[in-house]
Structure 1
Amino acid sequence: MRRGLVHALAWSLATGAAVTLSWWGVHTVLSGTVYDPPRALPLPVGSPEDLVPAETAIGDPVTASTRRPSPPSAPPPSPSPASSSPSSPGTAAAPSTRPAAPPRTTPPPATAASSLKTTAVDGGRVTFDLGESSAELVSAIPASGWQMQVWKQPTWIRVTFTQDGREVSVFCVWHDSAPRVEVDDRTR
């Protein structure tokens, strides 16, 4: 009886160690494949008619429905109370009473060589920042009930929305020309 308990305990410890080692290995491999979550953009202001319809987003040049705000100008530095009076060697400066600036939530301003391209499809909305010879994913937002996957490579970006066997992919490619956006809609 005692021998059976020793074997059962040894088997349990070996199995637990094997499962832990396997989980750690799989976790290590999969943690490197997760993409960065898309940045949220401010919602457009206006009526639904102002939004980009899916039909015009495929080939026609369309401007983004949101405007990029001008970069905020830095407020002039205000003198702190400690800097207005002469400090003696043993005195510490008083902390600033000015509140910290809120974190910046707006995207950086576009350069002259880049433009935003928003494509709305049944599965969601994708926005790319198109440069002269490359592109960057700005945001990808799935519609309600749709799943989303993102693939990034040196010469293309793919965003795929899936729901009930339907797959809508938005590609941005620039391997042989200037960046362009293409849409592929298929049923599995």
Structure 2
Amino acid sequence: MPRGVVHVLAWTLATGAATTLSWWGVHSVMAGTAYDPPRALPVVSAEPAAAPDEPPATSASSHRPAPAHTAGPSAGGPSAPPPSPTPSARPSASPSASASASGRVRSYTTEGGRAVFDLGEHSATLVSATPGAGWSMQVWKTQTWIRVEFGSGAERVSVFCTWHDGPPRVEIGTY
């Protein structure tokens, strides 16, 4: 009987030591992998300005109205909330742009989904790509081009950004 207790005690100590060592190793590796979540960039409309009597149309769901600036508190009571953005029709390929630290952020909305690129002077990066409902997506990247392909059955929509022979340019193809 004492011999069995010694074996169980030795097995328990060895298992506890192995578990502790494994946890410590995994914890030290995983502690260095924490990252900041990606920042969301606003995407504003690149459509021409509307006539003075028409409300401006927005093409992005992330558009927020500009805050109202006042010189001081108003004496007339609470102010009205800012107007909500008006939805607009989704064109087949509409670029939208806003300024960023490295270039222009442009959004290309297609039948298959939306691809957003940060276009610099000599290169580009893919900010995000989101397939539409019922569509799948694949992304290919090299040092001189990025291709985002949306697919649904036999239908394919490709958003292709190249910069190998000049500034970045984007082409959209359906096949």
TM-score, scaled to structure 2: 0.50
Matching residue of 1:115: 104
- Separation in structure 1 between the aligned mates of residue 145 and residue 108 of structure 2, nearest angstrom: 16
Give 1:164 deviation, angstroms. 1.4
Segments of structure 2 that go 5 or more residues without pairing to the other structure are: 1-37, 43-60, 64-84
Q: Which has the higher helix share?
A: 1
Structure 2 matches for 1:106-185, cutoff 5 A? Answer: 110-111=100-101, 114-185=103-174
Unmatched segments (≥5 aa) in structure 1? 1-38, 69-109
Identity %: 45
The TM-score, its normalising length taken from structure 1, stands at 0.47
Which residue does 1:44 correspond to in 2?
Answer: 62
Is the 8 Å Cα contact of residues 96 and 108 (structure 2) preserved in structure 1? no
Aligned mates of 2:172, 2:149 — CA distance in 1: 10
Secondary structure of the residue that 2:62 maps to in structure 1?
coil
Distance in 2 of aligned mates of 1:120 and 1:40: 20
What one-letter code is carried by the residue in structure 2 that aligns with 1:44?
A: S
Check 1:181–1:52 CA distance in 2 against 1; reply closer, same or farther (3 A cut).
farther
Alpha-carbon displacement from aligned partner over 1:26-76 (angstroms, at most 9, x marks no partner): xxxxxxxxxxxxx68474232321x76224x3xxxx433xx67xxxxxxxx
Aligned partner of residue 48 in structure 1, secondary structure: coil
Q: Deviations over 1:80-108 (max 9, x none)?
A: xxxxxxxxxxxxxxxxxxxxxxxxxxxxx
C-alpha deviation, 1:177, in angstroms: 1.1
Q: Are residue 63 (structure 1) and residue 96 (structure 2) matched? A: yes
Would the aligned equivalents of 1:117 and 1:130 in 2 still touch at CA under 8 Å? Answer: yes
CA RMSD of aligned residues (A): 2.2
Tell me which amino acid in the other structure corresponds to 2:169: R
